[in-house]
Amino acid sequence: MIRARLSLSPVTVLIAKRVAVAIGTLLLVSLAVFATSLLIEGDVAEAILGQSATPAALAGLRAAMHLDQPAYARYLAWLSGIVRGDAGMSLVTGAPVSALIGARLGNSLALAGLTALVSVPVALTLGITAAVRRGTAFDRVIGLVTIAIVSVPEFLVATLGVMVFAVTLHWLPALSSMRDVGSFSALLRVFALPVFSLSCVVVAQMVRMTRAAVIDVLDASYAEAARLKGVSPSRLVLRHALPNAIGPIANAVALSLSVLLGGVIVVEIIFNYPGVARLMVDAVATRDMPLVLSVAMIFCASYLVLVTTADIVAILANPRLRHR
């Protein structure tokens, strides 16, 4: 009924539903993350003041931080703060969490964005080629290399990168520092190793999933029919297979890019890169909960945005949903 009155297309309704599910999941995730932070021994006031604090001082700080309120009230206050961009104060430095994150977020996004820019075209080319040339030497080499990269820790890839390009060949600096970025070539030198390490991991994952998606489509009966009809291999792939593989491929890209979310943490630490992930690791070590929770929510939200975008692309790429 509502659909008819607003004359919404089924695609719009599907997308709206998908976005609603994502927002619902994000709320559940925020609840889970906040609930986890309640597991802390004692409470945050004790963590700040130390064990020798007087009961009066503890009570005062608890009241000031609203720790005397019930958990659900604190959750709602925290959630509305996050939505407004006010995530409270860092327990360690006393600075606003939003300012701490704001200063670093751009760096992390630059690293992740550059990696995506490099890895998506490379991975799609390799994955589709491997699928089309299934069983050839090319396909087998790709399969071996990607499974090797997927099954080793990210820091091994980064470590080997440093050993080869910085230590042995002296082409690149082992550590990156944003201060050195003056010219384009300097920028390249600083970003080369972190982006290379991250790309290796992302590309390997993406190639495997893309290959599987394209093979699924090439094995479908309509692809067989087209082949029997005498369609040229390039036309078979470009006109018959790929349009139908867009959904699964978008999914592969999104899931592989979500590998970035974990990889970026390790890479920022290895290369001493001033991003959000370093902030997170330091915050966990000092148990700076407001900062930990905020960065965790940024990562969870990024993951959901990636997955939801992939679903929306799949909906848009499916012509069966356009008319009804």
Partner 1 sequence: MTAVSLRPRRFAISGIVGAALVGFWIIVAAFGPMLAPHDVGAVVDLDVFSSASHAFPLGTDYLGRDMLSRVLSAARYTVAIAFLATALAASVGVVLGLAAATGGWLDMLLSRVFDTVIAIPSLMFGLVVIASLGASIPVLVATLAVIYMPGAFRTARALALNVTTLDFVTVARARGERLPYIVLREILPNVRGPLLADFGLRFVFVVLLLSGLSFLGLGVQPPHADLGSLVRENISGLGFGAWAVLFPALAIASLTIGVNLVIDALPKRGRR
- Per CB under 8 A, residues contacting partner 1 are 25-26, 28-29, 32-33, 36-41, 147-148, 151-156, 159-160, 162-163, 166-168, 174-175, 258, 261-262, 265-266, 269-270, 280-281, 283-285, 287-289, 292-293, 295-296, 299-300, 303-304, 307
Whichever of 304 and 316 has its CB closer to partner 1, that residue is 304
Is the Cβ–Cβ distance between 204 and 149 less than 8 Å?
A: yes
Shortest Cβ 262–partner 1 spacing (Å): 4
Q: Residue 70 Cβ, how far from partner 1 at the closest point, in Å? A: 18
Distance CA(140)–CA(223), nearest Å, equals: 23
Query: 237 vs 279, which CB is nearer to partner 1?
Result: 279
Work out how close the CB of 51 gets to partner 1 at its nearest, in angstroms, rounded to a whole number. Answer: 15
For Cα atoms 50, 56, 61, give the angle at the middle one, nearest 5 degrees: 65
Nearer to partner 1, 80 or 272 (CB): 272
- C-alpha closest to that of 188 among 166, 211, 172, 204: 172
Rounded to a whole number of angstroms, the minimum distance from the CB of residue 85 to partner 1 is 20
Nearer Cβ to partner 1, position 181 or 304? 304
Tell the smallest beta-carbon distance from residue 286 to partner 1 (Å). Answer: 9
**Smallest distance, partner 1 to C-beta of residue 166, A:** 8
The nearer residue to partner 1, 33 or 231, going by C-beta atoms, is 33
**Cβ closest to partner 1, residue 242 vs residue 309:** 309
Residue closer to partner 1 by CB (options 119, 308) is 308
Rounded least distance, CB 201 to partner 1, Å: 11
